[in-house]
Every structure is written in structure tokens, then in C-alpha cells.
Amino acid sequence: MDARLATAVQCMQAGRLTEAERLCRAILAAAPNDAPATHLLGFVAYKAGRPRDAIDLIGKAIALDETNADCHFNMGLALLAAGRPAEAATHFARATALKPAYAAGVENLVSLIMARANEAMAQGQIEAAIAGFGQAAALKPDFAEAHGNLGVALMAQGRPVEAAAAYRQAIAIKPTMVPVYRNLGRCLVVQGDVLGAIELARRALEIEPTDDIKIFFVRSVRSLPSPAAAARELAAFRPLLARALAEGWGKPSDLAQLAAELVKPQPARDDALLLAHLTTTPVGDLALERWLTDERRRLLMDGDGTDETLTFACALAQQCFINEYVFAEDEDETRRVAELRDVVAAGRAAGALQIATLAAYVPLHRLPNARALLDRDWPEPVRAVLAQQVQEPREEADDRARIPALTAVADPVSRAVRDQYEEMPYPRWVRLPLADAPLPIDQHMRARFPHAPLRPVGRAGGADILVAGCGTGRHPIESARRYAGAHVLAVDLSLGSLAYARRKTRELALANVAYAQADLLELGGIERRFDVIECAGVLHHLADPWAGWRILLSLLRPNGLMFIGLYSRRARAAVRRARDFIAERGLGPSAADIRRFRQELIARDKADPLKPVTRMADFCTTSNCRDLLFHVQEHQVEIAEIKAFLAANRLTFIGFELDPAVEQNYRRRFPRDAAMVDLDGWDAFEADNPLTFANMYQFWVQKP
């Protein structure tokens, strides 16, 4: 070896690149085709950050000596630095073939690239992550994880078609990668192929029935634009739907519409899907409601004693308790129910079917001897009814005295709202869905809103969260399970709702949720401060929603996050018409008036302007219908008002909580708003799609 070349190598290793380059050029001036000097000069160019020069020089060295493994490996490095990973992979493969020891070097390089890409992804540097995962996949084409992670990064950037291609490649390489089926399914949902996503969930469940895939199955079903149109294609999924409902894979309400579509063409008392639906979530399909109403009457008037009938009667009793006895009944039924109630109340030995039938018309805990029913030996279906209608209400009644009062309830509107929810705690829910693995609040929010202008919130030990207006506990329990290390304080006006919430919290053995009675308007006087405040569906029931919102802001720490829900004026046009009609008729919020009003609307022609109300989810239970149409106080707002409030209070808009399909439609219309935070854009979008926020505006903001 030329002594100058050895010196040049030493200079390069010592970082004296200019001196190394000078020595190499001196050698080449005398011997232009000196392969080692050409190679070293190219590697010096690579180390100096000039990959194009390196590619030219090392390429020349390879032409002079094609069998030099070192040249091929370094050529791969230069091509990688130049953003040409596919060509780099070819040279790395050649280097490994010539010198097998280089295989470990390529593996280490891929591992390093993956680590850097994962770090970039965690920090929200999506472009860098995409580049890194793409390089890893090109260098190691059979590396399924690289293709899968590339899909995640592409999806985060709103590129579902390319993400789907990466996921498909990962599955082709490694068909057992169950999480990739879920991720590919999400891409399909965004692209409108919900049936394809559901089929992917089925395939993944056959490989490994993980909680993630069960959750994904339910979310895919929820994304169906028209369950009625898809019912025929999904008929084979009936057993899976029944399992999902019975085992609580997701929110039962997300499966209810499809379950009803599959059941109602030929309803049968022994249908496992129907029974699972009845015992888990209110029936919202009016045709199925009519069939159930007729079947309940048959049970009352001439029920037989078969096991099949008893199982159905008990499931129907649970349904009627869940929907707060919203089904219609005629005078003959009312008279027969009174007779049956007298029999049971007098302590005479009523049979299992009689108890189940009575429970389908009146809640058993209101009977004077309800507790005695627990002492008898009953078949399992009846025991389930008694647990629901006697044992659990007793637990709630005992709990009321244990709930602390955080503030007084003095405001007249607050008192009226409290009284409404004392009469009918809202909503009456049976079970929560499987939960995703908890994440720190910052990580969760970054994953949910990757392009939003978020600032870190989390503190050591987890976030302090206030749920203002917690109702029957579903919201605070979900938050307690969603955020790692969360400490949740949940408050509400209604002791009945809070007692229900405490019971459900004990069922789930959650220790990080505390409950207290409080009026939101009085919370400004407490000393505690919070990292996150969630208030969905409460402010619009105050006399002044904006004043209530400002009180909550005073309790939020700097950089704190707030989740708000407000009714949309555009989306609730049909509700306004119905409320005006109720006022004109002089109807009150009693259960009898609510049932009477529902039956009148159900009987109306499809073209009637009030008919859209019957298609709303809240129409299907007594308390939900009262909350929807008979509430003592309701305000509806527009996006422009929300925007003005945010500006006046220096709040940063983070984003709406919406289904992926809606987000994708918005992106197509406003591609420049990558973060989807332009409220003027959303106002225009809602003007063209007035039911976008049919439930309510639900969104996140951040305090300065």
C-alpha cells in the first residue's frame, strides 16, 4: 500500500478530512485508476456530507474492482444518504454476498434507522419518520415491521392509499401480524371500504382474538354508512356480532343498529343476537320495537312456561328496564299488570315467568317486598333480572348518603336540572367497552391530533382531570381508563346519577375516580386546579353557557386541555321543531307524556317535519327522550360563537372529535388545513353538511 494512502486513512479516521482528501488526490494525480485511493476519496466525500460526490467516486472504484465488498458497503451508505435506499439495498446485498460478515453491519444499520424513525414519529416529525421507515424497508425488503411502521407514519400524514399499500406488504411478509390488520382496516374505513375492514377484523380474530382486534371490529361496524344496506353482506357475521355484544367488545350502541337490521326480518325469541341486544343496549329500531311491544303483550296475556320463553322474557325485562319502560301499553295491559303486581306484592308464590313478565312492565325494586324476591331460588335468567332491578338499585340507594357535597346547588336552573336527573338518571348504561392500553395524556393527544398545535401538558405522576357533569359515570370511567396515571374528580348535580356512577366504578374495580355533588356554577370557589377538564353536554343546559365555561377555565392550569361539548344549532333543527310542538301541546316531562308523544311521532307520515326526531338515538329510551326533547333548559350555538369565545379567552383550538370518514371528507375539501383547525373551514363544511355535528360539537382546546 502507498504510504500516503495509509496516512490518508489515519487522517480520515481522526476526522482530518481535508488532509485525507489532499493525500488521495495526490495519489490519483500520478495514478488516476488507483482503486483504493478512489474508494477512500469517495468515502471521505461521504463523511464530509457530499453523498453525490461519494457516489461518483465510489462508483468509479467499483468499476475498477467490482469484487471489493468494502466499496459496495460504502456505496450503500452514500446512496442511503442521497435518499436512494432501493439502490443502496442492491449494494448492501452485494457486499454481504462478497463478505458475509457485512450482514451484521446491514442489520445494525437497519436497526439504527428504525430507532431514529421511531423517535421521529414519537416527536411528531412525520416526514423524517416516513423517510426512515422507507429506508429500512428498502434495505431489508422482507422486514415486515418496517413496512408496518411506514404505514403508520403515512396514515398519520393523511395518506391512506399509500399507508394501505405498506400494510398489505407487511401482511404479505408476515400474515400473523395482527395489529397490522387493524391498521389496514382503518385505512379502508377512511377510503369508504368498511365491509373490507370488517372482513379484515374477522380474519385477524381467527389468527389471534386480541382486545385490540375486538375493539377494531366494533369500530368498523360503527363506521358503516348504512347498516341496512350492508345487512345482507354481513349476515354471516351474526355469531360474531352476538359475541361482541354479549362480551362487551365495544360500546353496545355501536352494534345496535346492525344487530336490529339482521334480526328484524325474521325475529325469533331464541335468536342469540336478539337476546344479546336486549340485555346490553336500548333497541333503537322502531320496527323491532313494535315487534317487542307485541311480544311483551303476548307474554302478559297468554305466556307459556317453556325455557325458551323464560329466557326471552328475562331478556325483554332487562331491555325494558334499560329503556325505562318506553314501550307503549294499552288499557288491557295496564289492568293485567296491576293484577300481576298485586299477586307478587301480596307475597303469593309467583312463578319465574310471572316475575319476568312483571319486570318487563314495572321495575321490581318498587315492589314493597322486592327484597324478599332475592331470597328465593330462581333460574339463572331470573337471577340476572333481580340483580339488575332489585339488588343494584338498593346499592345505589345506600350509596346516596356516602356521596360528599363539594358545593351547594342554589341556582334555580341548576336545581331544575338536578331534579330532572334525580327522577331519571341519564344515561342508563350496562357495560363499558374494552379499553385501549392507557397512554400518558400528551402521547394520547399527539396520536389523536398529530398536526395540531399542541404543547406538553403531562406532569410526573399523571394528569389531574375534572369531569364537570359526569352523569351516570360512563365519561369519567372512560377517561380514567384512557390516560395513564390519571386522577379523576367527577362531579354532577344529581345524587341519583352519582350513585349509579359509583356502583359502575366499583364493578370495574377502578380506584382513580372520586365523585362529589357540585354545581358547575359554584366550582370557582374550590382551591383545586386541573391539567384536563372535560365537560361534554353540560354547558348548554346552563342559564349562561359562556359564563359556565369561563368558570371552568379558571380551574385549568396553564397549558391545560379542555374537552367541550355543545349543541349545534344547525344540527338540531328537527329538535327545535319538536320542542315547539311539545310546548304547543302542553305536554310535560312525565314518563306517560313522553310515551304518548313518542307514539304520536312514530305514527306520523315519513314526510312529516317532526319525523327525523324518531331516527335519533336518544329517541329510544324515556330518560334519553326527555333529555333530547323535554329538557328544562337548552341552548344551541354556532361555530362562529365558539370561535369568538376562543379568541376572547386566548384558547388554542386543537380539533373536533369526529369519525375518520368525516375527517377525510373535510381534508378533501380543505387540503391546506392539515391540522383541521380552521373554524371558518368547519363552519363552511357544516353549512353544506348540517348533520355533521348531529350529537353535538365535541372538541379540544388548550389554555395559554
Residues 612 and 648 in one domain: no
CA distance 8 to 21: 7
Residues 686 and 540 in one domain: yes
Instruction: Report the pLDDT value the prediction gives residue 697, as an integer from 0 to 100.
Output: 98
- Inside any domain, residue 145: no
Q: Mean per-residue pLDDT for 185-198?
A: 92
Residues 461 and 511 in one domain: yes
- Domain with 362 in it: 286-399
When the pLDDT of each residue in the chain is averaged and rounded to a whole number, the result is 92
pLDDT over threshold 90, residue 290: yes
Side-chain-side CA neighbours of 575 within 13 Å: the count stands at 25
Q: Mean per-residue pLDDT for 409-427?
A: 90
- Inside any domain, residue 251: no
Residues 520 and 655 in one domain: yes
Cβ atoms of 518 and 417 within 8 Å: the answer is no
Residues 563 and 693 in one domain: yes
Tens of pLDDT, residue by residue over 480-520, are 999 999 999 999 999 999 999 999 999 999 999 999 999 99
- Inside any domain, residue 261: no
| CATH code assigned at 66 | 1.25.40.10
Give how many domains the chain has, as a whole number: 4
Cβ atoms of 289 and 327 within 8 Å: the answer is yes
Lowest mean pLDDT among 92-106, 411-425, 625-639: 92-106
- Inside any domain, residue 154: no
Residues 331 and 466 in one domain: no
Contacts 24+ apart (CB under 8 A), 128-136: 129/153, 129/156, 130/154, 130/157, 131/83, 134/85, 135/80, 135/85, 135/88, 136/110
Q: Mean per-residue pLDDT for 310-320?
A: 97
Q: How confident is the model at residue 692 (pLDDT cuts 50, 70, 90)?
A: very high
- Inside any domain, residue 227: no
- C-alpha cell read off for 410: 342554589
Q: How confident is the model at residue 12 (pLDDT cuts 50, 70, 90)?
A: confident
- C-alpha cell read off for 91: 449494494
Q: Mean per-residue pLDDT for 374-403?
A: 95
Residues 411 and 509 in one domain: yes
Residues 395 and 499 in one domain: no
Instruction: Report the pLDDT value the prediction gives residue 1, as an integer from 0 to 100.
Output: 57
Q: What is the DSSP string of 624-669?
A: HHHHHHS-S----B-HHHHHHHHHHTTPEEEEE---HHHHHHHHHH
Tell me phi and psi for residue 48, to 5 degrees.
-85, 0
Q: Mean per-residue pLDDT for 244-266?
A: 95
Tens of pLDDT, residue by residue over 564-619, are 999 999 999 999 999 999 999 899 999 999 999 999 999 999 999 999 999 998 99
Which of 399, 432, 450 finishes a domain?
399
- Inside any domain, residue 589: yes
Which of 50, 67, 100 finishes a domain?
100
Residues 458 and 381 in one domain: no
Closest to 366 in 3D by CA, of 385, 345, 348, 347: 345
pLDDT over threshold 80, residue 458: no
- C-alpha cell read off for 606: 315519513
Tens of pLDDT, residue by residue over 607-662, are 999 999 999 989 999 999 999 999 988 999 999 999 999 999 999 999 999 987 79
Instruction: Report the pLDDT value the prediction gives residue 424, as an integer from 0 to 100.
Output: 86
Order the strands of the 487-492 sheet from edge to edge: 513-517, 487-492, 464-468, 530-536, 556-566, 697-702, 652-656
Residues 687 and 539 in one domain: yes
- C-alpha cell read off for 141: 425488503
Which of 383, 399, 415 finishes a domain?
399
Instruction: Report the pLDDT value the prediction gives residue 5, as an integer from 0 to 100.
Output: 87
Instruction: Report the pLDDT value the prediction gives residue 90, as an integer from 0 to 100.
Output: 84
Residues 95 and 10 in one domain: yes
Instruction: Report the pLDDT value the prediction gives residue 46, as an integer from 0 to 100.
Output: 87
| CATH code assigned at 516 | 3.40.50.150
- Inside any domain, residue 315: yes
Residues 435 and 521 in one domain: yes
- Inside any domain, residue 591: yes
The predicted model scores a pTM of 0.83
